[in-house]
Structures are given as structure tokens and as C-alpha cells.
Chain A
Amino acid sequence: MTSWLRSRTLQFVALLALCALALRRVEGVEQACALLLAPSAALASFLAPFEFGGEVQAADADLAQSSRAVRALYARQVLPEDEQLRAGRAFVACEVVARVAGAPDRVIVRAHDHLAVRVGDPATLREHYLGRVAAERDGEWEVELATARDHRVGAVARAEDEVARLVVGGLRRASSADEGALLAAWAVDDHGLDGALVRVQESAAGSAALQGPDLASAQRANGYLLGRLRAPRRGAALPPGVRSELDWEHGLHHLAILVDPRAAQVGDARIDERDPLDPRKWRALETVARRASSPGRSVSRVKDFGQLRPGAAVASDLRLAGRVERCSGGLADVALLEDPAFAVEALAVVGSARVVSLGILRGAGRVDAGSVLLACDASALQRLRAALEGAPDAAVSVWTAGSERGVPAALLVGALLPQQGGVSALRIARVHEPASRRQAWIGDGAQADEVEAR
């Protein structure tokens, strides 16, 4: 051994440097250290005869039926209740699978009827206008939302007998903190319609603003709601805005595309490729450590067989158990539901027919052996309370929304349990499942590489 290697001072400096690089998460150092720890996976396999990975388990029949019903409910709830908005139109239900990396105003969707969709077709959610199809890529469609900076859609604002034409698109800066983000309204020809309902109204005269999309496609969205017109505060150098009821950031999980009725029912259901009931989309996991040693965390360690991707759902019999957080050196860490790093987009099904978007749920610890806490936004709690006002005794079950790579729709997160006092997180019942029955979602294949930590 050379003398400089024995120098305590040099060793100390080298260790300090290593700690600094580890805290800064330098990619090269991380990879080198993962290589150094690679034998750990082999050592664990050799020493751990406790857990065995088995075949992918078939879903429990009742749960499979519930999951199927929830998926059908998701698809139905994108349609408008207003008959006028349905008349003469053909809808293709779609599942949002991700946001475009670096472009949050574009979502990637999979369609029930892939071949019926065309670029330029409008996208809607119930009676709301969302945007239009901008591109196709790898069997999926990219939808540009109305919040995109360059998006423009012709509209009309009506209040009693008064009517004003305008163009809506992009986001308008809020004039006060409590106003929130609004859609920007351009070329409003009457500023005296504060509070008027704004609906899409594409016409031949105003179609020049579209610059491209076919007018017939665009006009299919006529009558769909954009929001209410909001005049800026006096003295504010801002254009009028349109307040939308939609949660553009976390409330878009499923949507409908208004397609040409002649092209509908062509087939090729790409959305079914993310069916959680398809056993080929799952891979059985072999647990190395039920609870990994990491202070403050609830992480399970499993073997990585090369198909796991960060963000992939880990479930046991269609019950969500966690998500893959990191894969390295032949091992992968699964953040369990109660783990502070766990997050998933979820929906609540109230009773059997009402769906409420919960946005992102985050692990907030364990209450007891049978329940965990999942934190959500105050607005989500408000939506849930509003839904429960009409049916206070209705059972509430929480399911994955499916609007993220690696997580299919309609995996059961758990049943909502009652809580006392001021509630800031949802208490969810967790059914104990043996770790040996866990399986990971591999249905998104290489596309899961696009998973972005939000």
C-alpha cells in the first residue's frame, strides 16, 4: 500500500469530497457507487430464502369486477349530460397517460377508438372545452390544452340578451392573489359582460385565428363551456379573463375527443393496452426486504429484473401497494403508500356513480396496521365534501386515476375511513397483502422512461 493512501488527512479529505458529491447527487459518482454495491443483489439472493417471487396472481373476481366497473365509469363520466351537447356528435373516450415533458400544457392520451381520431379534433370533458388534438406519436395522441400560450379558440359570451364575441386561449396573469389563474380572453368586443358564460363558437368568419385545423372539426366543440368572463380590476393593465371550473393541473385524467361521426367505431382500442386486468402487463416481484433501512421512510426493496422503471405501480391483487422509486444495481426500491415520497394521481368514487378528482395524493404516514394517511390539496377535500353533502353515508373508494406513466387506471388505493376533527389528509383503509404477492406494472414498456417526478 503506498504511503499516501495511508495518510489520514488525505483519507479524510477524500471522504468529505465523497459526502459532498453524494449529497449533490452527481450522476457519475452515483453510477460508480451503484456498481460498487452491485454484489449486494447477489448476496441478498443467496442469503434471503424468506420471500419467493411467483407467478403473476390473477385478480380476485370481485375486485376485478369493481375495477372494470370503475374504468367504465371513468369513460362514461367524460360525456356531457346536456343532450344538446351530445346531439349529432361522436365521442371517443380517452385516458390521459402523461404530460408532455417540458410542455405541461400538452397531455398525452390513449383513445378507445384510436383510428377515429384526427389531428385538430376538439377535446372535451363533460360540458367543458379542453383543447384540441395536436399530434400523434407512437399510437398515442397529444392534446394541446386551452391553457397553452398559443392556443386560440373562437368563443361567445352571453348574459341575458347581450352577446359578445371573443377569442380565448393561454393563461392570463392573476390580478390578485385570490383570483387564481384564468384563461386569457382576447379581442373582446364588449367589456361589460362580467360574469357571462363563455362558450366555444367557431365560425367561418373567425376561423382565421385557428390557422390550420379543419373548420368542421373545430365547430364540433361549439356550445362547449370555457368558463365565466371576468373583467380585470380597474386600473389593471390586463385583458379580461375566463374563469374555468376545471383543475387544469391535476384534474385531467380522462377526456373525450369529438370525432367525425363517419370515422367513429373504426376500432383499434389502444386504451385497452393499459388494462390492469391483463396479466401480461404485470411482472411478479421478488421481495428482498419488506422494509428497507432508511430513516423516516416506508420502502420495500425488491429485485430489479431489468423491466422495472421508476414510477411503475406495484400492486397486490389490483390493490396499489406502492410505486417504484429507484432502480439501481439489480435492486429496486418501492415507496409504499404511507411513505412521504409516495405520490399518485387518484380519483374517489362516491357511492357507485360519482367520480371526484383528488389530484395528487401523497403518503403522510401510517395511522395503524390497517390504515394510512394520504395528503391531498384543500381543493380536493372541498370537492369531496361537496360530493358527500348529498349522500353523507355513501361509501367512498379511492382508485388510481391512471394519468401517469407506469400507473394504470382503476387500481384500488383503498376505502376512505371516517375521521374526526379538522381533516387535512385522507385516512385510507389498507388491506394486508403478503409481500410475496406483489407485482409491478410493466404495461407502459419503454415509454415509462418519460415518467417525470412532479
Chain B
Amino acid sequence: MKPMRWLSIALFAGLLGWLALLEALARPHLGGWTPNLALAAALAVLARAEERDLWWLCVATLWARGIVAAEPAALVVAGTACVLWGAFVARGVFDLAGHAGRALAAALASLWLGGLSALSHLASEDGSSALAAAAGGDALRSALGTGIFALLLGGLLQAVPGLGPLARRAS
């Protein structure tokens, strides 16, 4: 792999990490409406990434989510892996790089992660339905916020300087 590509992957990891931290800073003010910034950015970039970069981009996405996702590690890995896999499959059928595609993909991905979190509360031994209900409500709000964020700023994220070598897939 060329050094420029490695640099792009490192920049991608850094960008996602910062977006995850920004999300954490915004959460006390926006509450459940806080968009899943790192996830939206990851999907926007992955929509145009080449097949050979996908594994590395997945790992970077996982690490970025690992910074702020306060769920058991297995749930973070499983949820994120499902989202990314779904995006890989979907990008062969739909245009995930376009406005509608990336907004819908980001909203659904956020909803899936929130839903999985709610399900995990229900499935846990103490079975906290209050937690599950709160998680479900927040998942809907967050999905909407993430979709809007991806719609408005997804294009900008795709054009972040330094990520060019990752976005060479023909649309």
C-alpha cells in the first residue's frame, strides 16, 4: 500500500475520533437529538472507498466508536460491524454517496445501533425495561439527527482534504 493511502487512513481515523469527541461534547446540550457524527462520516467516506481499503476503514470506525460508545464491547463491535457490512452490501445496489442515500443510510445505521442497545437492556439479566424504553426513544431522535446531519454535511465530509485517495471508487 502506498504511503499516501496509509496517511489517508490515519487521517480518516483521526477525523472519526474527533467527530466522536465532538459528539460527546454536544450530547449534554442536545441530549437524545445528538447526531451520530462519526458514524455518518464513516458511511459517507465508505460509500466511495475502494474494496481493498474497506478492512482498514472498518477498524478505524470501530476504534472511533469505541471512544464514546458506553455499551459492552461486544455490542459495540457487533453493532458497528453489522452497520458497515450492511453499507457494503447496500452500496452495490444504491448510491450511498448521494444526498438521499447517505442520509437514509446514516439514519438507519443510527437507528440500528440504538435499537440494538435497547434490545441488550431487555436481554440483560436484570432486564431493565426503563432503560430499554429510554434507549428506544433516544434511538429514534438520534436517527433523525444523524440523517439530517448526513444530508447537510455528508458532502463536506466526503471532501475533507487528505481523504482523496480513499474515495476513488467509481459511483
Contacts and interface: CB of A to CB of B under 8 A. Distances in A.
A44 B123 contact: no
A368 to B, nearest CB: 12
A26 interface: yes
Contacts of A12: 85
Interface in A1-36: 8, 11-12, 15, 18-19, 21-26, 29-30, 32-34, 36
29 contacts: A8-B89, A15-B82, A18-B74, A21-B74, A21-B78, A23-B123, A24-B123, A25-B124, A30-B73, A33-B77, A37-B63, A37-B77, A40-B63, A43-B17, A47-B14, A47-B67, A290-B25, A292-B70, A293-B20, A294-B71, A295-B136, A295-B137, A296-B118, A296-B132, A296-B137, A297-B134, A299-B70, A301-B24, A453-B126
Given A25-B124, A293-B36, A294-B117, A44 B67 contact: yes
A36 B77 contact: yes
Interface stretch (A61-69, A91-99, A326-334, A416-424): A326-334
A84 to B, nearest CB: 46
A292 B75 CA distance: 15
B28 interface: yes
Given A8-B89, A19-B82, A22-B74, A40 B136 contact: no
A44 B77 CA distance: 17
Interface residues on B, range: 35 or more
Interface string B27-47: 110001010100000000000
Interface residues on A, range: 35 or more
B21 A292 contact: no
Contact of B21 (A289, A299, A333, A340): A289
Interface of A: 8, 11-12, 15, 18-19, 21-26, 29-30, 32-34, 36-37, 39-40, 43-44, 46-48, 50, 288-297, 299, 301, 325-326, 328-329, 331, 333, 340-341, 365, 453
Contacts of A293: 20, 23-24, 27, 34, 36, 65, 68-70
B100 interface: no
B27 A33 contact: no
A365 to B, nearest CB: 8
Nearest to B86: A15
B114 interface: yes
A50 to B, nearest CB: 7
B131 A296 contact: yes
Interface in B85-117: 85, 89, 113-114, 116-117
The 10 closest A-B pairs by CB, nearest first: A296-B134, A40-B66, A289-B24, A292-B70, A291-B27, A296-B135, A295-B138, A37-B66, A22-B74, A33-B73
A301 B85 CA distance: 27
B139 interface: yes
Given A23-B75, A25-B124, A294 B69 contact: yes
B77 A47 contact: no
B24 A290 contact: yes
Contacts of A37: 62-63, 66, 73, 76-77
A50 B26 CA distance: 13
Nearest to B60: A43
A165 B130 CA distance: 49
Query: Of A15, A295, A340, which is in contact with the most chain B CB atoms at under 10 Å from its CB?
Result: A295
B70 A43 contact: no
Given A19-B78, A295-B114, A295-B135, 9 more contacts: A18-B78, A25-B72, A43-B64, A290-B25, A293-B65, A296-B32, A296-B117, A296-B136, A301-B70
What DSSP secondary structure best describes chain A's contact surface? mixed
Query: Of B25, B63, B70, B123, which is in contact with the most chain A CB atoms at under 10 Å from its CB?
Result: B70
B4 interface: no
Contacts, number: 170
Contacts of A299: 70
Nearest to A12: B85
B120 interface: yes
Contacts of B63: 37, 39-40, 43
Query: Of B18, B76, B82, B134, which is in contact with the most chain A CB atoms at under 10 Å from its CB?
Result: B76
Given A47-B17, A295-B117, A295-B136, A301 B67 contact: yes
A30 B77 CA distance: 10
Contacts of B70: 292-294, 297, 299, 301, 325-326, 333
A244 B155 CA distance: 69
Contacts of B158: none
Contacts of A295: 32, 113-114, 117-118, 134-139, 142
A18 B74 CA distance: 8
Contacts of B75: 22-23
Given A22-B78, A295-B114, A326 B18 contact: no
Contacts of B65: 40, 293
Contacts of B67: 40, 43-44, 47, 288-289, 301, 331
A43 B114 CA distance: 24
Query: Of A15, A30, A293, A301, which is in contact with the most chain B CB atoms at under 10 Å from its CB?
Result: A293
Contact of B24 (A15, A32, A292): A292
A110 B144 CA distance: 52
